[in-house]
Amino acid sequence: MHATVGDRVRIKGRIVGMKEHVGEIVEVRGSQGEPPYRVRFDDGHEALIFPGPDCLIEQRGPQD
C-alpha cells in the first residue's frame, strides 16, 4: 500500500449497519509512502492507522 499526504482513506464497515469512516492523510510515517498514516477523519478526530483489507486509499487528483 502506498499513499501521500492529501490522499483520502475509506474504511468500510465490517458489519451490516456500520458506517464507513472517511478521512484525509495528513502525515505519512513509513518510508516511500508505506504505513503508518496519520489520518484526520471527517468527524475531526485524528488517528495513526495501519490500513487493513477493509481500507481503500483514494489518490489525490490534480484538481484537489
Tens of pLDDT along 9-52?
A: 999 877 777 789 999 999 999 999 999 999 999 999 999 999 99
Grid cell at residue 2: 502506498
Mean pLDDT value of segment 2-8: 95
pLDDT of residue 60: 83
- Cα–Cα dist 17/35, whole Å: 28
Whole-prediction pTM value? 0.85
Cis upstream peptide for 36 (omega within 30°) = yes
14 close to 54: Cβ distance less than 8 angstroms: yes
